[in-house]
Structure 1
Amino acid sequence: MKNLLKAFIILSFSLTIAACNGGKASPLDSRHIALEWAEAELQWDGEQRMKLLTSEAKEKYRDSTHVKGEALNPDLTIENYEMTEWKINDSTYIYKIRYPDQKEIDTTWTKILKTDEGWRVSDIAYYYYEAKPLIKNIKPTTIKEMER
């Protein structure tokens, strides 16, 4: 009986949290997507990249080798990194993720958009020069600093 009551309380609490959030993604989710994208870039994981793109980007790049195939370097992971966030508005965030311990790539810029499917990556390639006009008057937030 106690286990049934405990399960009911946990279920009620979970449903309350979900209802308060209104089923909408939070900024924390956009951070997770940005980090997943950076790791997919590092691993050269086309399948994972395709999953993370917006519908428009999926259509644009459906024939690209950048979004095809399993990870070429599945053992590479991002462990020591620095993540910086710029909130453009409630549905657009830009992230800079630095991970200098890696030899192939040391920085990833990513624009994350809120879509009907949740938070998604706007484009396969996103660069500082594209982000600069959007972030120039926005104070960055350091989400995680590198371990020294």
Structure 2
Amino acid sequence: MKKWIRSMSMLFLVMIAVACGNDEIDGKGPDTIPIEWANAHVQKDQSKKIELLDKDKDILDADDGPDNDETIQNYKLTEWKVDENRYFYEITYEYPSETNKLKTDKMEVIHTDSGWKRAEYGDIRNFDKLVEDLEPDVIRELHDE
């Protein structure tokens, strides 16, 4: 009986650790949203941007798919974690077809009923003020392979 209780206790602890330690939903964590957004930007894929947004934007056309198949290769991604359901990101990336042309996006990513989503279409006002008390975590440097 003691072995059974000990085994069940260990199983319970492992299940709790797995559930609490994973921010991924359907294999996607919050840090994938800025990369997917940047790829949608360089591909001029409005339908993908709508998919990544928490709320639809009337200025985007759901029927307008990608104009090309380019993807970003060189990017710097920095994360600020507010809590398990809210993150801020800054992504700076090189355009794939244009050498030395950089773009920076600052965004909030939130957990919704349908997965991780970008909270707003445009850059966040007062981004620096919103993240000043949070610890930045550089997930990837610009020229990492």
| TM-score, normalised with respect to structure 2 | 0.72
Instruction: Give me the whole-angstrom Cα distance separating, in 2, the residues matched to 1:130 and 1:116.
Output: 27
- For 1:26, the aligned partner's letter is E
Instruction: Give me the whole-angstrom Cα distance separating, in 2, the residues matched to 1:94 and 1:41.
Output: 19
My pick for the range that moved more, 132-141 or 96-105, is: 96-105
Offset, 1:86:
0.7
Task: Report what 2:91 is aligned to.
Answer: 97
Offset, 1:121:
0.7
Report % sequence identity. 27
Offset, 1:124:
1.1
Gaps of 5+ in 2: 1-13
Gaps of 5+ in 1: 1-15
Count of aligned residue pairs for this structure pair:
124
Offset, 1:41:
1.7
Cα RMSD for the two superposed structures:
2.8
Instruction: Give me the whole-angstrom Cα distance separating, in 2, the residues matched to 1:66 and 1:137.
Output: 37
Task: Report what 1:143 is aligned to.
Answer: 139
Change in 2 beyond 3 A, CA 1:134/1:67: farther
2:47–2:60 Cα contact (<8 Å) kept = no
Task: Report what 1:120 is aligned to.
Answer: 117
Change in 2 beyond 3 A, CA 1:20/1:34: same
Q: Deviations over 1:11-38 (max 9, x none)?
A: xxxxx97x9438x743970001221112
Change in 2 beyond 3 A, CA 1:146/1:51: same
Change in 2 beyond 3 A, CA 1:134/1:114: same
Offset, 1:76:
2.2
Q: Computing the radius of gyration over CA atoms, which structure comes out larger, 1 or 2?
A: 2
Instruction: Give me the whole-angstrom Cα distance separating, in 2, the residues matched to 1:67 and 1:75.
Output: 18
Offset, 1:79:
0.2
Structure 1 stretches of 4+ moved >6 Å: none
